[in-house]
Amino acid sequence: MFSDPKQLSKAERICRVVELIPCGQVSTYGRIADYAGLPRRARFVSQALRQAGNANIPWHRVVNSQGKIALAVGSTEYFNQIERLRAEAVVINTGRVNLKQFLWQPDAATLIFSLPF
DNA sequence: GATGTGACGACTG
DNA sequence: CCAGTCGCCACAT
């Protein structure tokens, strides 16, 4: 039987959504929160990702609403994220991604069947 | 409970 | 396009 997504913890729901971001595309903290059924909880998304540490989730595909890398500029993790994105052909200019071009826009089937939150 | 902290976001000048 | 401000909400103290 299918597990009921609503009984997953909030952090788990967030990770589940992040895993759906396709290679070569990005999403934002605010949008991830919305897709996870947690509106106005953008900050909680970053918290959840940090706690998840690594866990095979494509955390590098998440940027802020302006398309900018949210990690401390110049930090090791900052460069790590840029490298991972460039490896997926995502173009980054001065720490910023052009959302017009790379923002993930889930199709209806994904919204209905993969994001039932 | 009160208070401070954030990998945030919307607005404003 | 910044930078500052304020609102927001989960967590740690």
Amino acid A2: pLDDT: 47
Which pLDDT score, from 0 to 100, does residue A54 have? 78
Q: Which residue has the higher pLDDT, A48 or A53?
A: A48
- The string of pLDDT tens digits covering residues A62-81 is 999 999 999 999 999 999 99
Closest nt to residue A38, judged CA to C1'? C9
Residue A6: pLDDT band (50, 70, 90) is: low
Nearest nucleotide from residue A41 CA, by C1' atom: C9
A33 has pLDDT over 80: yes
Task: Please choose, from the candidates A85, A66, A67, A83, the residue with its C-alpha nearest in 3D space to the C-alpha of residue A75.
Answer: A83
Residue A31, CA atoms < 13 Å, CB-side half-sphere: 19
Nearest protein residue to the C1' atom of B10, measured from CA:
A65
Predicted confidence (pLDDT) per residue in A85-114, tens digit = 999 999 999 999 999 999 999 999 999 988
Q: Please state the separation of Cα A55 from the chain's center in Å.
A: 14
User: Tell me, in Å, how far CA of A41 is from C1' of C7?
Assistant: 12
CA of A68 to C1' of C2 (A): 13
Helix (H, G, I), strand (E, B) or coil at A47: helix
A55: pLDDT strictly greater than 90: no
